[in-house]
Structure 1
Amino acid sequence: MRKNILITGASAGLGAEMARQLAAKGHHLALTARRVDRLEELRGEILAAHPDVEVVVHALDVNDHDQVFTVFEQAARDLGGLDRVIVNAGVGKGARVGTGAFHANRETAETNFVAALAQCEAAMQHFYERKTGHLVVISSLSAMRGLPSSMTTYAATKAGIAHLAEGIRMDLIGRKGLDIEVTTLFPGYIASEMNEQEQRLMVDTVTGVRAMVRLIDKEVAEASVPPWPWAPLGKVLKHAPLGVVRRLV
C-alpha cells in the first residue's frame, strides 16, 4: 500500500476531495496549496473523521520552483518518506490566441506545464532515492486534441504534461530494482471549483473523484475518467476531423 501521499492543489475541488477519500482509506497526507487557511480547515475536517491518519499542510505556490523542491523534501521528512505524489495543481485561465490576453495564457502555460515539470522532478528525485514510489499526473480529456478559443493554451499544457508523464514512464522500462509507477489520468467533466459551469455529461465531484481514486489505487498507466463515457469520447476527440471536434466542444 502506498501509505504516504502528497497532493498539490489540495485546498479545493478535485484535490480536496481526493484528500478526503484517500484519508478514508487510511493514507497519511501531505496537503499543499497557496491557501493555507483552506488546507488547515480541510485538515481539521479529515482528522475529525479519521483520527488515526496523519495530515500535514504546507503553503506552496507551484510557480516558485525552488519552493516546490523544499516543500516536497519537508513533507517527506514529516511523514517519513513519500510513497505517492499527485501532481494536481493547475489553473484554467486562457483566451483565444492573438486577442491580447498573452498574460493569461502565459500564466496557464507556466502553472500547468513548467510548474508540473518542477513537481515531477522533485517527486521522481525522491522516488529514485528510495527506489519506490508512484507518480500521478492529472491531465485532462482536452489533451486529446488542440482546442479552440479559451481552451487552446489549456489543452496544449495538458497534452504537454501527459507526454511528460509518458516519457518518465518510458525511462523506467527495464530498470531493475525499481518499484516506481507512473499514472496519467484524463478527467472529463467533473464538477470542481475550476469547472463550476454545468456541462453535458458532467458528474459531481464525489463521484468523479471516486473513479479517479479507484484508478490511482490500481496504478494504471493511463485512463480517461470516469471511464464511461469519457474513454470512448476521448477516442472520438483524438481521431475525428477538426470540424467535428469543433462542434463537440
Structure 2
Amino acid sequence: MTTRSTILITGASSGLGEGMARLFAAQGRNLALCARRLENLEALRTELLAAHPRIQVEVRALDVNDYDRVFQVFEELDQALGGLDRIIVNAGIGKGQPLGTGAFHANRQTAETNFVAALAQCEAAMQIFRRHGRGHLVVISSMSALRGMRKNITTYAASKAGVAALAEGLRSEMLGTPIKISTLYPGYIRSAINEKVKNAPFIVDTETGCKALVKAINKEPAKACVPAWPWAPLGFAMRVLPLAIVRKMT
C-alpha cells in the first residue's frame, strides 16, 4: 500500500469532505482543502493545525462549477504543497425532483455539479498526475449509481453513474502505470446532502462513514462499496435483481 503524503479534497468544508480531512490529518498527511465556504475551511485549518502542528494545510475557495477556477486552484495547491499525490473528487449536491414535474433547473444543477464539474476536477487532477508521472485519483460516486433510480434521485443517480463510468475509463487507460484510479460507492452516510432523506436504510453517522471511506481510500482499490457491510452484498444484488425488485429497495 502506497502512502500518499499530500491530499487534495474538494467539498471539504462540511460533511464527508470535512470528516475525511480530519482523519487524514490525524494520519500525518498534508492537506489541500477546497470548498465554496472559505470561512469554514479556515476554521477547519486552524483546528487541524492545532491538533497536528507538523502537517501543512492549504485552503482555497472553490466553486467546482467555475471550471477555469478548478484548474487554477488545483495547480496553485500542487505548487504550494510541493506536489499533490492524491486528489479526492468529493464535491457534489443532491437536489432533484421527478422528471417532468417542472424542476428541470434543480435536476440540471445536480447533473452539472455532479458530472460536468467532476469532469473538470478529473481533468485538472490528471493534468497534474501526468506531469508528475504518478498519483491517485479518487472519485466519490454512490450506491445509487448501480441502477437507475426513481423519483427525486433519478438525476442524482444518473450523474453518479456517469462519474463512475468516467473513472473506469481512466482506470482502463492507466492500468499498469503509477497513476491509480479508485471509485468509491458510499451507501447512506449521514451528511448535509441526505439530511432530509426519510427512507435511508442501514445509514451510519458521519464519523463512522468517513472512517470507512478513508480506510478504503488508503487501500487504493479499483472499486469499493462503503461501508463494505452491508453495501457490498447489496450492491451485487442491485446489479443482478430485476428492476421491479430493485425499485422496492430504494
Place the TM-score, normalised by the shorter chain, in its bin.
Answer: over 0.9
Task: Tell me the amino acid that sits aligned with residue 24 of structure 2.
Answer: L
Structure 2 SS opposite 1:146? coil
**In the TM superposition, what whole-angstrom CA distance separates every residue of 1:41-60 from its partner, at most 9, and x where no partner exists?**
11111111111111010000
Structure 1 residues 86-127: Cα deviation after superposition (integer angstroms, max 9, x where no partner): 000000000100111000000000000000000000000100
Deviation of the 1:173 alpha carbon: 2.4
Aligned residues: 246
Q: Can you give the 5+ residue segments of structure 1 that lack an aligned partner in the other structure?
A: none
Instruction: Report the Cα distance in structure 2 between the residues aligned to 1:147 and 1:136, rounded to whole angstroms.
Output: 24
Identity percentage of aligned residues: 61
Structure 2 SS opposite 1:5: strand
Is the deviation greater in 88-97 or in 165-174?
A: 165-174
Question: C-alpha root-mean-square deviation of aligned residues, in Å?
Answer: 0.9
Amino acid paired to 1:60: L
Equivalent residue of 2:100, what SS?
A: coil
Provide the C-alpha distance between the structure 1 equivalents of 2:207 and 2:23, rounded to a whole number of angstroms: 9
**Counterparts of 1:174-213 in structure 2 under 5 Å?**
174=176, 178-196=177-195, 197=197, 199-213=200-214
Q: Distance in 2 between matches of 1:204 and 1:61?
A: 26
In 2, the alpha carbon distance for the partners of 1:16 and 1:238 equals 31
Distance of 2:16 and 2:175 partners within structure 1: 30
Q: CA deviation at 1:217?
A: 0.6
1:164 is displaced (CA, Å) by 0.3
Tell me the TM-score normalized by structure 1. Answer: 0.97
1:178-237 Cα shifts (integer Å, max 9, x gaps): 411000000001111112246221111111111111111111110100000000111111
Q: Distance between the aligned counterparts of 2:101 and 2:138, measured in 1?
A: 34
CA apart distance, 1:10 = 0.3
Alignment deviations for residues 9-31 of structure 1 (CA, whole Å, 9 cap, x no partner): 00000000000000000000000
CA distance in 1, matches of 2:244, 2:123: 38
2:130 pairs, out of 94, 116, 128, with: 128
Rounded Cα–Cα distance in structure 1 between residues aligned with 2:242 and 2:108: 28
Q: Which of these residues, 115, 118, 134, is aligned with residue 116 of structure 1? A: 118
User: Which whole-Å CA distance do the structure 1 matches of 2:178 and 2:201 have between them?
Assistant: 39
TM-score by length of 2: 0.97
Q: Which residue of 2 aligns with 1:227?
A: 228
**Equivalents in 2 of 1:69, 1:23: separation in Å?**
24
Aligned to 2:143: 141
C-alpha separation in 1, matches of 2:105 and 2:240:
31
SS in 2 for 1:185: strand
Matched position secondary structure for 2:34: strand
Higher mean alpha-carbon deviation, 153-162 vs 192-201, is at 192-201
